[in-house]
């Protein structure tokens, strides 16, 4: 039972309680507990196993939640969840998936109209029954009707990289609109979440109708709804795009508000209240008696300044550590893609890559990198024509020849060696000892037990010639969950043996994720951001890895391949004893 699954259970309990109109404080306790546990850098199982620690020492986890966490980690079911599930039909929970519906509105249509499925809700909307309910109306009914289709596929969120393509296309499309004075994308896209549910655009314009007409004409888009200053469209692939036109003096406040996260904004509102202020998407207001005076809102910087706070990079706005850093005056200077000097995971035509050694070198140099490592697969990955010892040594001789011709650039002799199902590595130490750089990874046996997979990785880190673990949890976003692995044990082994962990920048992987990278950083474990490129164009994904690293609060100093070649090789040598 990992932290993410525990958080899902608590979120489900909160939804069911809110559906039943339970005490809001109780609902909030479960939602806060879910967020705390989801973002906590260590597994709850590790905390439970430590006799010197208590779950209740974690801020936001009280005695009741701690008991439930312990029960879940022990493989037990929760009587409260079972009781709530027995009281609410599973089909009714689907209603809460509709954007903007929420548990309270779902409960209203369930209790007052007897609606418990999406099909029944569609029929009720088409019969104009929903608009008659208190707190709804015709527009709400139209929005619900439009959102039913999305609710049927809401589990499928696109990767940030996919959403980025649409965001860029819409930006390009809107550039031809003379009415646009300022335009930004907000929401989870701006915060760099690894998956995106929709896109939120904010625009400053004196001609809102012209701006919305332009967006409505976006190719293959269908209109969801439109008002005086807001429009929503659905793209051909199902992605919803919302655009709001806001006054110039409120643009910064709106950008901050709609960027979120929700939890970050809750803390801001509390801080504003302590200072006699009110903060919303329209600005920051001084509240005295019944009078509200506009204080700030034009830029995000001035919004935060009124609350005695620095401007926070959007990637950090998750109510994790940003406010603690701000209070200590130690907000990190986040890594930027220009800080990378190397890429240390890539493949050539010797295995499953599409570019030769020379082509990969040329592409890396064109991007301004100073050194790379060629890490083709080892022989266990038969589908990729993995290299045995003889073929690998032949490749390394070719790398030596290339290096003899290069000036100001170096190719490291590397390998992505498989960690075998039975344990051990796919190549012998006498071969690996001739390398400059070795990344070890799991491609087979991913359904093994948590104990078995953890032992395989921990033993690999103990090998003197392994430098790093590639894509350490094996996840493929929206396609394959992480395999069961005790990351705390992996961190301990990496620190003990002076090894590194990879943040694989492939947008379908982004592995390690942001929470795990932050945990590695807290233990002083260097992160390597690599492309896992299989073509000359593959280096372009490095920016996705940088975005994930920024969400983890990583600086240039936390990432190994920002170092000069000499400094990097000293770090590798330290891991070789």
pLDDT in tens, 476-528: 887 788 999 999 999 999 999 999 999 999 999 999 999 999 999 999 999 99
- What average pLDDT does this structure show over 129-135? 89
428: Cα separation from own chain's centroid: 37
**Do 432 and 449 fall within a single domain?**
yes
pLDDT at 2 over 90: no
What is the rounded CA–CA span in Å between residue 408 and residue 492? 36
Q: What contacts 70, CB < 8 A, 6 or more positions away?
A: 48, 55
pLDDT in tens, 55-81: 999 988 999 999 999 999 998 989 999
R_g of the chain computed on alpha carbons: 26
Q: Does a cis peptide bond (omega within 30 degrees of 0) precede residue 352?
A: no
Residue 382, in any domain of the structure: yes
pLDDT for 238 equals: 81
pLDDT band at 143; cut points 50, 70, 90: confident
- Hey, what long-range contacts does 181-186 have (CB within 8 A, 24 or more apart)? 181/205, 181/206, 181/248, 182/248, 182/251, 184/255, 186/254, 186/255, 186/258, 186/259, 186/260
Render 307-367 in DSSP notation, one character per residue. Answer: TT-PPPPGGGTTTSSHHHHHHHT----B--GGG--EE--B--TTTT-SS-HHHHHHHHHHT
pLDDT for 93 equals: 74
pLDDT in tens, 188-240: 999 999 999 899 999 999 999 999 999 999 988 999 999 999 999 998 778 89
pLDDT for 150 equals: 62
Residue 252, in any domain of the structure: no
Residue 550, in any domain of the structure: yes
What is the rounded CA–CA span in Å between residue 405 and residue 466? 28
pLDDT: which is higher, 241 or 8: 241
- What average pLDDT does this structure show over 417-425? 97
**Do 45 and 142 fall within a single domain?**
yes
pLDDT: which is higher, 383 or 5: 383
pLDDT in tens, 350-382: 999 999 999 999 999 999 999 999 999 999 999
**Do 321 and 371 fall within a single domain?**
no
**Do 512 and 392 fall within a single domain?**
yes
**Do 451 and 571 fall within a single domain?**
yes
CA dihedral 281, 287, 291, 297 (to 10 degrees): -30
SS3 132: helix
pLDDT: which is higher, 559 or 5: 559
- What average pLDDT does this structure show over 467-482? 91
Residue 251, in any domain of the structure: no
Of 5-14, 173-182, 552-561, the range with the lowest mean pLDDT is 5-14
- What average pLDDT does this structure show over 467-478? 94
pLDDT for 100 equals: 66
Specify the CATH number for the domain of residue 514.
3.20.20.140
CA dihedral 210, 211, 215, 218 (to 10 degrees): 60
pLDDT: which is higher, 141 or 295: 295
**Do 202 and 272 fall within a single domain?**
no
Summary mean pLDDT of the chain:
93
Of 141-155, 230-244, 472-486, the range with the lowest mean pLDDT is 141-155
Tokens of 519: 């945990």
pLDDT for 156 equals: 59
pLDDT band at 532; cut points 50, 70, 90: very high
pLDDT in tens, 102-117: 788 888 888 899 888 8
pLDDT for 401 equals: 97
Closest CA to 479 of 522, 517, 523, 510: 510
Specify the CATH number for the domain of residue 213.
3.30.460.10
**Do 239 and 355 fall within a single domain?**
no
pLDDT for 96 equals: 78
pLDDT for 514 equals: 97
**Do 238 and 284 fall within a single domain?**
no
Closest CA to 511 of 553, 469, 460, 453: 469
Residue 316 sits in which domain range? 257-328
Q: What contacts 546, CB < 8 A, 6 or more positions away?
A: 335, 336, 337, 340, 505, 529
**Do 197 and 129 fall within a single domain?**
no
pLDDT for 135 equals: 83
Number of domain units in the chain: 4
pLDDT for 139 equals: 83
**Do 468 and 430 fall within a single domain?**
yes
H or E element, residue 548 = helix 542-551
> How long, in residues, is the chain?
577
- Laid out side by side, the sheet with 198-204 consists of 182-185, 198-204, 240-246, 230-234, 222-226
On the 0-12 / 13-18 / 19+ scale of CB atoms within 10 A, 507 is buried
pLDDT at 404 over 60: yes
Do the beta carbons of residue 486 and residue 43 sit within 8 Å?
A: yes
**Do 147 and 43 fall within a single domain?**
yes
**Do 203 and 291 fall within a single domain?**
no
Render 398-418 in DSSP notation, one character per residue. Answer: HHHHHHHH-SS-EEEEEEEEE
SS3 306: coil
């Amino acid at each position: 039972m990992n932290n993410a699954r525990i958080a899902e259970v608590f979120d489900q309990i909160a939804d069911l309680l809110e559906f039943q109109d339970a005490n809001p404080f109780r609902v909030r306790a479960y939602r806060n507990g879910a967020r705390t546990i989801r973002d906590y850098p260590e597994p709850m199982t590790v905390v439970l196993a430590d006799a010197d620690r208590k779950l209740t020492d974690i801020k936001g986890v009280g005695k009741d939640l701690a008991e439930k966490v312990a029960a879940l980690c022990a493989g037990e079911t929760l009587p409260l969840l079972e009781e709530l599930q027995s009281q609410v039909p599973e089909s009714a929970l689907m209603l809460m998936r509709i954007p903007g519906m929420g548990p309270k509105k779902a409960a209203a249509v369930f209790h007052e109209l007897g609606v418990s499925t999406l099909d029944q809700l569609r029929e009720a909307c088409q019969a104009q029954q929903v608009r008659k309910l208190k707190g709804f109306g015709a527009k709400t009914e139209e929005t619900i009707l439009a959102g039913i289709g999305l609710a049927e596929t809401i589990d499928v969120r696109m990767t940030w990289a996919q959403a980025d393509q649409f965001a860029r296309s819409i930006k390009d499309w809107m550039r031809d609109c003379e009415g646009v004075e300022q335009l930004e994308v907000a929401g989870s896209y701006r915060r760099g979440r690894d998956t995106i549910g929709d896109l939120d655009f904010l625009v400053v314009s004196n001609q809102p109708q012209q701006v919305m007409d332009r967006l409505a004409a976006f190719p293959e888009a269908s209109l969801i709804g439109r008002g005086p200053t807001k429009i929503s469209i659905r793209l051909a692939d199902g992605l919803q795009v919302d655009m709001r036109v806001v006054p110039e003096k409120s643009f910064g406040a709106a950008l901050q508000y709609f960027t979120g996260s929700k939890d970050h904004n809750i803390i801001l509102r509390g801080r504003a209240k302590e200072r006699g202020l009110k903060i919303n998407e329209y600005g920051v207001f001084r509240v005295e008696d019944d009078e509200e005076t506009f204080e700030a809102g034009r830029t995000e910087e001035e919004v935060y300044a009124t609350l005695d706070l620095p401007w926070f990079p959007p990637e950090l706005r998750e109510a994790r550590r940003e406010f603690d850093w701000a209070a200590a005056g130690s907000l990190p200077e986040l890594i930027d893609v220009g800080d990378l000097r190397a890429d240390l995971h890539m493949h050539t035509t010797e295995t499953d890559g599409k570019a030769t050694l020379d082509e990969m070198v040329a592409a890396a140099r064109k991007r301004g990198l100073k050194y790379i490592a060629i890490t083709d697969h080892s022989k266990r990955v038969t589908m990729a024509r993995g290299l045995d010892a003889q073929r690998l040594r032949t490749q390394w001789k070719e790398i030596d020849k290339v290096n003899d011709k290069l000036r100001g650039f170096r190719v490291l002799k590397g390998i992505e060696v498989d960690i075998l199902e039975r344990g051990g590595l796919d190549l012998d130490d006498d071969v690996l000892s001739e390398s400059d750089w070795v990344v070890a990874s799991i491609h087979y046996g991913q359904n093994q037990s948590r104990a078995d997979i953890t032992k395989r990785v921990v033993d690999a880190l103990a090998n003197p010639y392994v430098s790093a673990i590639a894509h350490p949890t094996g996840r493929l976003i929206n396609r394959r969950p992480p395999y069961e692995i005790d990351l705390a044990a992996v961190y301990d082994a990496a620190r003990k043996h002076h090894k590194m962990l990879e943040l694989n920048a492939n947008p379908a992987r982004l592995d390690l994720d942001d929470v795990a990278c932050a945990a590695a950083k807290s233990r002083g474990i260097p992160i390597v951001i690599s492309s896992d490129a299989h073509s000359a164009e593959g280096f372009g994904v490095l920016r996705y890895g940088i975005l994930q690293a920024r969400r983890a609060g990583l600086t240039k100093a936390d990432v190994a391949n920002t170092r000069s070649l000499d400094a990097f090789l000293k770090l590798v040598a330290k891991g070789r004893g």
